[in-house]
Structure 1
């Protein structure tokens, strides 16, 4: 591809040299001969400091935000390098979002579960569907390892260009929106699940967080539609905002005014909903009102696509859940483990409330906090755990560069202030799970939250790499000694 085709839309008053371009890079170490290097100022590194390295590696043109003179290759200054990267990547990969039916899902909680549900409903109706999610990516039926909730703009455009699937369902995080990772992508449907306390270390306050989340719905295609949870106060605010701006909105919730109305939920698995005068009972295989809301979002987008009510009902009967989301591991002794990704105050309360509602025996909760993440939520999460649990074991999550001693010190401080005598600290995550297992009685529930299916980033005592594998290791260890 010629450089002029790639960037002429950014520089309408400048003559662009007819240089052949091999690829686009924003990491100087990946630059090879014939590439364009886009310098991005990150949070830890500034790509502008690596421009000379990129040229030494073979870059034939450079794009950046700073006013730089006298480079040995053409340099083009832009206002926002991240925005430019997304736009240029879309051109380089021939605007892949235009050939797919794009479904973007945003919200604090429920993005992954809703994405898996939507994909399942589509595939059950013989519609091919790519998935880009926190847990994993599926393209053309093949699984690809996920590196972020929303991949960087270059990787995202590349993945979509590889897909021959009719639909593409993707989680769209607030970080992904703010960092312009979805620049150059336009959506047929935008789904809003909910909004609550999270990422305030990054967004500063909920109003700013909401504003960023709202941006997804201004990336809809001309005929695009918004699917919004009216049960969320922030959803109600979004509905008003979008409708005032002339964006088509379809809602789900308990109100007679909702496009898809929830009439009843039996607290276990059966919901009754109505759509265009037709009422239907559906069975869900994931408990909790929060999963009901995720299902409603998936159902409504499927209905808007044209899948009929009965097909949706049949599809949900074969939905087996999401890795690391309310995954249950029962042992013959009567002890039950549940692993869940819940890592926000709202998500944790919904999860623990669901477990407590369906279980009146002892509940043991194991969780920790991630280094360099939102500190303001920790008190509320511990208070929630103490309220619903009989015993709380605080442990280590990913340190992310924070000194272990500092994290452990904070755990003790939190425990002393808010633990109410229910809290125990076991620093090693695998040993925390082992302790709970060795001290559990028949019919106890042990819940482990915060990581879901994620691989451990720290080195722990047991030879395992996820919460699931730790549980299975302990089960196998006991079986071998029986």
Structure 2
């Protein structure tokens, strides 16, 4: 692509002289640069790309974009911009032919429920014959093919490449607060935007719940003039604030809640294990059977029902699709124990998500509840106390174990877990650092009617090596299920 045409997408000083150069590709990682590429230097959370400009030039970069003044001249053109992340998004969109403009784009944000809501909506649309790409936490799905995911919302370059490759008319984006703050979806106009909820999370990054909320509102700033916002009002003051904010901005807002003012009303909840409930719209009642556990999933499903209905899907088709929903990898996945106990693997890593899952297990009439979880190194420390208190109150026994260390020394993580358990855990908590041995210990003590909740990682692979030959919580359980002769009770 010609450099002059490419740079039309970003704001440069009109006096800049743009040479006649053909750009062969874009990158913000100097290690991936090929001859003729444009390199965008970004000051990231772990390193500053401006330190690698010379490496990019040596690797063959023909143009450099950055946001700081250079200390020495380069042999290739350098263009200074105010914000490199915004420039990357704009350049990526232009390089790939502005692919988002040819799609119906749906963005879903919130603290909890984003992934499940994405999967529910995609299932409804595809069951109705509408091909749909999904870009999110667990995996990306483009043209019916699964693509590995590294972040909830990929970097702008990867995102526009996926949009360019997608031949599906609809794309659902799971949009994280980090993705919004770091301008990964910059320039994309959304046809529909959904808000699930907001609760305690990522305060090591956003500093306050209000800052976190304001970041979430940025998704709705990118709605098309004809776009629609959908808000779940599930027992959440931040949902009301979001509605007020959107109405002030003159956005079209539809809500699901329990008040007569809501567009869809969540009526009688017959069961939440699995979910059986009724949705009301004007004078119509829609009974829904959803093969998922927990009241929170009734709300997730209600939000997707509202969205699909407004998009033109017939209610009977939506009901049928929800009833056949196969679930989400790593979200309340159930595994059987030989003695009749149930093991659950879930991604829940916030106080609110843990509470909802434990309530669902209680409502399923669990005889005893065991909870296995940990905390990520360099994560949000302010939520740990609350999560331990919730688990201690709801569980017969909880086990603190290792999650990703993320560069924190193992000894420091162990000290933190023991200190947290001693300070906030009470007498029904213990620490088993090896995650696979923590699961094996509970595997050996459960009886018929017990439920075991393993939270925090969901489908993610372990980043540390553990005692049992497994790379995830799922694999640990499958090892214990299949290789009984080698399974020995780990003594806590």
Which TM class, normalised by the smaller chain length? over 0.9
Structure 2 unpaired stretches of 5+: none
Measure the CA separation in 2 of the matches of 1:350 and 1:479. 36
Q: Which consecutive segments of 4 or more residues in structure 1 shift more than 2 A? A: 479-482
Given the alignment, which residue of 461, 469, 474 partners 2:467?
461
For residue 3 of structure 2, what is the aligned residue in structure 1? 3
Alignment of 1:194-205 (within 5 A): 194-205=197-208
CA deviation vs aligned residue, 1:185-226 (integer Å, no higher than 9, x gap): 111111000000000000000010000000000111221111
For residue 44 of structure 2, what is the aligned residue in structure 1? 42
Contact conserved, 1:330 with 1:337, CA < 8 A, in 2? yes
CA deviation vs aligned residue, 1:228-278 (integer Å, no higher than 9, x gap): 112321111011111111111111111111111111111322111122432
Contact conserved, 2:366 with 2:449, CA < 8 A, in 1? no
Name the stretch that deviates more: 272-281 or 11-20.
11-20
Q: How many residues align?
A: 482
Alignment of 1:24-173 (within 5 A): 24-68=26-70, 70-173=73-176
Q: CA deviation at 1:481?
A: 8.5
Measure the CA separation in 2 of the matches of 1:415 and 1:331. 27
Measure the CA separation in 2 of the matches of 1:12 and 1:226. 36
SS at match of 1:86: helix
SS at match of 1:246: coil
Distance 1:332-1:47 versus aligned 2 partners, 3 A rule: same
TM-score (norm 2): 0.96
SS at match of 1:72: coil
The answer on 1:238 being equivalent to 2:242 is: yes
Name the stretch that deviates more: 69-78 or 395-404.
69-78
Distance 1:481-1:87 versus aligned 2 partners, 3 A rule: closer
For residue 418 of structure 1, what is the aligned residue in structure 2? 424
Measure the CA separation in 1 of the matches of 2:229 and 2:419. 44
Structure 1 unpaired stretches of 5+: none
For residue 452 of structure 2, what is the aligned residue in structure 1? 446
For residue 436 of structure 1, what is the aligned residue in structure 2? 442
For residue 295 of structure 1, what is the aligned residue in structure 2? 301
Name the stretch that deviates more: 237-246 or 110-119.
237-246
Name the stretch that deviates more: 350-359 or 195-204.
350-359
SS at match of 2:187: coil
Measure the CA separation in 2 of the matches of 1:138 and 1:31. 27
SS at match of 1:430: helix
For residue 264 of structure 1, what is the aligned residue in structure 2? 268
Q: CA deviation at 1:445?
A: 1.1
Contact conserved, 2:193 with 2:223, CA < 8 A, in 1? yes
TM-score (norm 1): 0.98
